[in-house]
Structure 1
Amino acid sequence: MQTTPLSPEDPAQIGGFELLGRIGQGGMGQVYLGESPGGEPAAVKVIKPSVVDSTSRLRFAQEIEILKTVWGARIAQLLDADADADEPWLATEYVEGPDLGKHVMTHGPLPALLVLSLGATIAEGLGYVHKQGLLHRDLKPANILLGPNGPKIIDFGLAVFAESSASLTAANTVVGTPSCMPPEQATGVKPLTSAVDVYALGAVLLFAATGHLPYHANNIHVLFHMVTDPASAPDLTGAPPELVPLLAAMLSHQALDRPTVTEVVQQCRALVEAQGLKLAQARRRLTTYTVAPPQEFPTLLPASVSQAVVPAPPALSDQTDAPLSDEAPSAPTSAQESASDGQHTMFLTSPHQARQVEPPGQSEPAAPAPQTAQDEQDKAQDAPRLARPSGRSPARSLRHSAQARRTAQQLREAYAARAAF
Structure 2
Amino acid sequence: MILNSGSPDISPDKPGENIILFEGTRYLVDYLHGDAPLAGGNGVVFKINNENGDEYALKVCKFPQETAETHKNYLKRMRFIREIRAFEKTSQAEHENIVGFIGQGELKIKNKTYDYYVMEKCDYSLGHYLDLQPDLTIQQRILLFDKILDGISYLHGYDLYHRDIKNDNVLILDNEPKICDLGLSAYRVRDMEIEREEKGEMIGPTGWFSPEATNKFLVENTSNKYNLDCVIGAKSDVFQLGKLFWYIVQGNLPLGQIAKSDLVASDSKSLYEAIRKCLIHSSKRRLSLDGLKKLVQDLRFEFGL
2:48 maps to amino acid = G
Contact 2:57 2:120 survives alignment (8 Å): yes
Aligned length: 255
Partner of 2:119: 92
Contact 1:115 1:209 survives alignment (8 Å): yes
Deviation at 1:172, TM superposition (A): 2.2
Name the SS for the 2:284 alignment partner. Answer: helix
Equivalent residue for 2:141, pick from 101, 109, 115: 115
Q: 1:58 aligned to 2:72?
A: no
Partner of 1:81: 104
Deviation at 1:145, TM superposition (A): 1.2
Q: 1:258 aligned to 2:286?
A: yes
Name the SS for the 1:271 alignment partner. Answer: helix
Deviation at 1:147, TM superposition (A): 1.6
Give the Cα–Cα distance (whole angstroms) in 1 for the partners of residues 188 and 173 of structure 2. Answer: 28
Partner of 2:254: 214
Deviation at 1:66, TM superposition (A): 0.5
Deviation at 1:212, TM superposition (A): 0.7
Deviation at 1:170, TM superposition (A): 4.6
Deviation at 1:270, TM superposition (A): 2.0
For 1:86-141, what per-residue CA distance to the aligned partner results, in whole angstroms no more than 9, with x for missing partners? 1221111222x211112234544743212211222111111110111110000101
Superposition map of 1:107-146 within 5 A: 107-108=133-134, 110-146=136-172
Deviation at 1:149, TM superposition (A): 5.4
1:77 maps to amino acid = G
Name the SS for the 2:181 alignment partner. Answer: coil
2:152 maps to amino acid = L
Structure 1: give runs of 5+ residues left out of the alignment.
1-5, 216-231, 278-421
CA gap 1:234/1:84 in 2 versus in 1, 3 angstroms:
farther
Superposition map of 1:17-32 within 5 A: 17-23=27-33, 24-32=38-46
Percentage identity across aligned positions? 22
CA gap 1:10/1:233 in 2 versus in 1, 3 angstroms:
farther
Deviation at 1:44, TM superposition (A): 0.4
Deviation at 1:239, TM superposition (A): 4.2
- Greater C-alpha radius of gyration: 1
Give the Cα–Cα distance (whole angstroms) in 2 for the partners of residues 57 and 237 of structure 1. Answer: 40
Deviation at 1:241, TM superposition (A): 2.6
Q: Normalising by structure 1, what TM-score? A: 0.55
Partner of 1:233: 257
Give the Cα–Cα distance (whole angstroms) in 1 for the partners of residues 152 and 142 of structure 2. Answer: 15
Give the Cα–Cα distance (whole angstroms) in 1 for the partners of residues 258 and 287 of structure 2. Answer: 17
Give the Cα–Cα distance (whole angstroms) in 2 for the partners of residues 52 and 208 of structure 1. Answer: 41
Superposition map of 1:63-74 within 5 A: 63-71=83-91, 72-74=95-97
Give the Cα–Cα distance (whole angstroms) in 2 for the partners of residues 132 and 89 of structure 1. Answer: 23
Structure 2: give runs of 5+ residues left out of the alignment.
1-11, 69-73, 217-228
Contact 1:102 1:142 survives alignment (8 Å): no
Contact 2:16 2:28 survives alignment (8 Å): no
For 1:167-226, what per-residue CA distance to the aligned partner results, in whole angstroms no more than 9, with x for missing partners? 2745422121021121012211554321111111111111111111123xxxxxxxxxxx
CA gap 1:172/1:263 in 2 versus in 1, 3 angstroms:
closer
1:212 maps to amino acid = N
Partner of 2:181: 155
Give the Cα–Cα distance (whole angstroms) in 2 for the partners of residues 103 and 198 of structure 1. Answer: 23
CA gap 1:162/1:239 in 2 versus in 1, 3 angstroms:
farther
Give the Cα–Cα distance (whole angstroms) in 2 for the partners of residues 108 and 81 of structure 1. Answer: 37
